Structure 1
Amino acid sequence: MDRTLKIMLVEDSRAFTRVVELALNEDPAIDKVMSFGTAEAALRSLNKLHRFVPDAIILDISLPGMSGLEAIPHFIGGIEEVPILMLTQSDKEDDVIQALSRGAMGYLLKSATSEEIRAAVRNIASGGNVLDTGVSKYIIEKLKKQPKNEKVDHRLSDRELATLALMAEGLSRKQIAHEFGVSVSTVVTHINRIYRKLDVPNAPAAISKGYRCGILE
């Protein structure tokens, strides 16, 4: 990624906030980190600081007042195309499914290393998806076992299907472009067509629907 990133961190633990800030500040690709202890404070800041539009939001689930899960649609509704990474202690299946279905692009446990946190932020900021290795296996297995009773109105092309499969593996747009030997803008075009054909708003929803429809195996 050529430009530096601006990150918004929403975390009520001051100790863990400091840990994340130190981890991110070690990355030369990250220019600024703004931290808030509640989702309400973070949302208010977005309304006031129009000049600060984050490239990614790191969001805890367990927060005083509005929970991280409740806050996801508010963040997405206020800032289009800004990816959200859930960074939490919860490895509950229901929390993971809810976070992804509401629009989060990544889910990482707080046991992650500093490098894993930095890599996750870079990944979602470039259009990729992140699932913690501690939860990804059973989530993917659950998606695979869902009844394949949904239908897709518009058939995906071979390249779109291959793109969706790589998205399901967690590859970013840049990585998919490298895999296919095409430009990132071409990959973005494929992804937008996938979203339109599957009638979904984001990558996690596309992957989930792909398994439910039986087009991902």
Structure 2
Amino acid sequence: MNILLIDDHGMFCESLKLTLERDECIENVHILQDVGEAKRKILNKEYDIILMDINIKKITGKEDGLTIAKELLKRDNTLKIVMLTGFDMPGYEAEAQQIGAKGFICKDEYTEVLIEKLKKVYNGETIFRKVTSHINELTEREKEILQLYSSGCSRKEVADKCNISVSSLAVALNRIYEKLDVKNYQEMINKALELGYIKPNFF
């Protein structure tokens, strides 16, 4: 296997590269932090598997790994992209599955487990846990409302940006509260972060 590793933590990358290359099934692990070059090489099919961190804005400036993976998979849905993350959030895993990634692996996995999962992907399998059914229940409008609130917008600002009245926004918020099983604004934001509907500030 030839693997491309995209992650913005140099020490982690070097350590993981050395560990993976000890396995006889893994020929090379390449590390790239130039996203433009990585995209070109990926689309040229130079790698069997792309192992990509979600939080890579230190090297992209604005895009996270899921956004880049989605772009690449739209251009070639046969790519074997596996998302690697320190954030074990069901919403991120659901999004990775939805865009066509082949797997979702947390950084706290043992290396032996990671290698076995990569071998499965190489052989055509996908590696996702069973994602609970409530993950996709929010509508796109409801997700937009959550994201606007999390960015610090007031209720009136959210209503204006969504082109709805404040009373209509109140109805939408009640639906969101019900779907997320929360009782107030803070619980809503915390649950949305936990499920991956909104990303932490450092993303």
- Same fold (TM > 0.5): yes
Aligned to 2:119: 122
Match of 2:85 in 1: 88
* Structure 2 unaligned regions, length at least 5: 138-203
CA distance in 1, matches of 2:2, 2:88: 27
2:140 pairs with 1:143: no
TM alignment of 1:31-70, pairs within 5 A:
31-46=27-42, 50=44, 53-64=46-57, 65=60, 66-70=63-67
Query: 1:57-206 maps to which residues of 2 (within 5 A)?
Result: 57-64=50-57, 65=60, 66-131=63-128, 136=129, 139=131, 142-143=132-133
Cα offset, 1:46, TM superposition: 3.9
Count residues with an aligned counterpart: 133
CA–CA distance in structure 1, aligned partners of residues 102 and 117 of structure 2: 10
CA contact (8 A) 1:39 1:63 kept: no
Q: Deviations over 1:157-199 (max 9, x none)?
A: xxxxxxxxxxxxxxxxxxxxxxxxxxxxxxxxxxxxxxxxxxx
Q: Which runs of 4+ in 1 moved over 4 A?
A: 144-147
Go from structure 1 to structure 2 and tell me whether the alpha carbon gap of 1:74 and 1:19 turns closer, same or farther (over 3 Å shift): same
Counterpart CA distance in 2 for 1:146 and 1:15 is 36
CA 1:93–1:16: 2 relative to 1, 3 Å = same
Amino acid paired to 1:109: C
Structure 2 vs 1, CA of residues 93 and 46 (structure 1 numbering), >3 Å: closer, same or farther?
closer
Q: What is the TM-score when the length of structure 2 is the normalising length?
A: 0.58
Q: CA deviation digits over 1:5-27, x for unaligned, max 9?
A: 11111111011101220221011
Give structure 1 stretches of 5+ with no counterpart.
148-217
% identity of equivalent residues: 23
Q: Does the 8 Å contact 2:91/2:135 carry over to 1? A: no
Look up the match of 1:164. none
Rg larger for: 2
SS of 1:120's partner is helix
SS where residue 112 of structure 1 aligns? Answer: coil
Deviations 1:121-165 (A, max 9, x none): 11111111223xxxx35x2xx139989xxxxxxxxxxxxxxxxxx
CA RMSD of aligned residues (A): 2.3
* 1:29 and 2:25 matched: yes
Please give the TM-score of this superposition, normalised by the length of structure 1: 0.55
